Amino acid sequence: MSTNVELVSSARCFQSSINVYSHDSEELQCKMKFGVILPDQAKESKLPVLYWLSGLTCTEQNFLTKSAAHKAACDNGVIIVCPDTSPRGCNVEGEEDSWDFGTGAGFYLDATEEKWKKHYRMYSYIVKEFPKIISANFPVIPGKQSIFGHSMGGHGAITIALKNPGMFKSLSAFSPISNPINGPWGKKAFTGYLGPNQESWRCYDATELAKNYDGDEIELLVDQGAADPYLKDELLLPNFCNACNNNKKVKLTYREHVGYDHGFYFIATFIEDHIKYHARYLK
């Protein structure tokens, strides 16, 4: 596997470089971009790394430009990396037809349906390929990595961490799609990528994984806006909370915030809390 990357753009923000890179992905069979918040401390020593997974319609740019995470990353001495949310430009029939399926909506799973399975392998990309890209090109401390995300990316962060016990030191999410087998977004994506057999969907559902999790005890922080228009029908957080409460190995801290919705203003308000939370485990 090639781990070569190409610098696409670079800018300064607080005491860090905000860089975008591209590389040829073997898992996805296309060129991918990713963003990096690289604190200046990385010039002197290796740092822990925090993986951010974005939501529907996002690219590597959304977190870099809207999250207000830059100063907190510097203050806490963590590198934050932001992969894209799907393959790009693969010319799969139908991948540009809707905003919640196909391009920008990879759902962090490995597709099994014939049309999608060659390129739409975001689970294997995040778990197998992307960490090797990061470790080969950036001064990261081996084993010191954590993961968080928003909406579809919150779903991705939780499911990936629960399916890979011990891979990450800590886990958190903003407004995660947490029971997709019972929500319209999830049903559409899972039917398209995985086919009609709903039993095959369960291994990518955070609530189902929390019910059955039997690895080392894991803690996670979830922040949710009470005014989020997707909370009731799409995110289904009560189902996830119940699953965690019934499994002593999953220690959930759930915070619901009055007046906040699903967007990046909400994320920017509480992003420092999440970075400090992860830094405690990573240091």
Cα first-last separation, the chain? 30
Catalytic residue among 151, 170, 172, 178: 151
Query: What separation in angstroms does the CA of 158 have from each of 33, 54, 96, 250, 275?
Result: 22, 13, 27, 11, 16
228 flagged as catalytic: yes
Beta-sheet pairing, 171-174 with 218-225 = parallel
Q: Identify residue 245 by its one-letter amino acid code.
A: N
Cβ pair 49, 138 in contact under 8 A = yes
175 flagged as catalytic: no
151 flagged as catalytic: yes
Catalytic residue among 23, 150, 155, 262: 262
Two structure tokens written together for 23 = 């590389």
Q: Identify residue 173 by its one-letter amino acid code.
A: A
Catalytic residue among 84, 228, 274, 278: 228
Burial of 226 (0-12, 13-18, 19+ CB in 10 A): exposed
| Catalytic annotation, residues | 151, 228, 262
